[in-house]
A and B are shown apart, each in its own frame.
Chain A
Amino acid sequence: MRHHAPVVASAVVAALGFGGSLRAEEPAMGKDLAATIALQGMPCDKVVSATRNGDSDYTATCRDGSRYHVFVDSSGRVVVKKL
């Protein structure tokens, strides 16, 4: 058990620190992404997870399984692309 403890601890830390995913305390970003997707005329009932790809760049997964790439292009426009 002692040998496994560091491994388990590392796994937990890795899981918590897994980059870019939305956490439970970031529902606002999920709503923002869902609203943005809807404004572009694409269906997304609710964003269940989102991964931050970079600055102003997210990949959102909707409840129905649809995935969208939401980002701000060089001209400052929000772009939503279905993946």
Chain B
Amino acid sequence: MYVAVKGGEDAIRNAHDLLARRRRGDPEVPEIGLDQIAEQLALAVDRVMAEGSLYDRELAALAIKQARGDLIEAIFLARAFRTTLPRFGSSDPVDTGAMRIHRRISATFKDLPGGQVLGPTFDYTHRLLDETLATWARGEEGASALVAASGESTQAAPVPPLAAQENHAALPENGADRGADEMPVAAPMPRVTDLLGDEGLVEASPVDDGSTPPDLTRTPLSFPAERPLRLQALARGDEGFLLALGYSSQRGYARTHPFVGEIRFGTVEVSLFAEELGFAVPLGDIALTECQSVNQFKGSATQPPQFTRGYGLVFGQSERKAMSMALVDRTLRFAELGEEKSAPAQDEEFVLSHCDNVQATGFVEHLKLPHYVDFQAELELVRRMRAEQEQAAEPVSEPSQQEAAE
């Protein structure tokens, strides 16, 4: 039971003022702008949008600044903000097949139609700290020994030239050759799963029966949860939690044996059907990461063996999250695919009830708020139990008393 406390107003106000000063840090160091956060800490912004379940780069950057870089706190701020806005409706489902590709790779086919493009990736980097990035907004004076030793300027890190600028042959056919003021249309990019699907070697996506998908922001989670509801919960779920669960399934806690069929990152157009207009209005583009996992197969008397699939789709560029989501989406499908339940990653109630980091942090962190009355009651109880135990330990003269003590 939680009993309210009173008082402490001055202390709280002063603590918040102190927080604001600590947030600003050394006033000699220039204040960070939302554009700097959005541009240079873009993946932190993406994570806040994904788990805050709110696509708005500027807002996510503000949340990160206000939260002093604490991303779960920033996600909390984004979730709180969304409750202040009315909802205009639901978009038409985005078409990731028409994505303007920034990155697309497959671990299953090296020569897939449309090709593999690495895009801006940490893959194949050596994970060595790059001294040339050690620049200082305040100037040379603030430079650390790391930079001082290298003797480099502290003003700006060098930016490598674009390979594309040196090699015009690399320009794609659409875009460069078309009229200068026509926006090039992204060529439809087949999914790896379509290639296998043509031969019936991989299961098809669940059929769109025209029903409205459940929405956990409107109706609380309930179990059993159907796949659309699970996908919504996973899409906004904590990256670390889903990463650990996906990892556990790879290590043998639920045997799914995944391949990454395809990962793509890029932008898609979002459109909203406007009642008053009677047609779908394009709203602009959002960046998404999609992961298709291809998993081991099962056949039955009626169905020849085929690969099964897991699916991940996340706001922004977040491959780790999209892959983890695909792994966990697949483990949660155990019943439908006739597999044995043997691991936490298959337990939808366990996974979905604990993947939301705003709920999780709320419940964990509430423990630090005053619980004085609760604790007093327990303290009383422990004192009484100890007293009773002491009494019981003494040589018993009247057995009736011992009975009463129990």
Do chains A and B stick together as partners? Answer: no
Q: What is the interface of chain A, defined by CB distance below 8 A to chain B?
A: none
Q: What is the interface of chain B, defined by CB distance below 8 A to chain A?
A: none
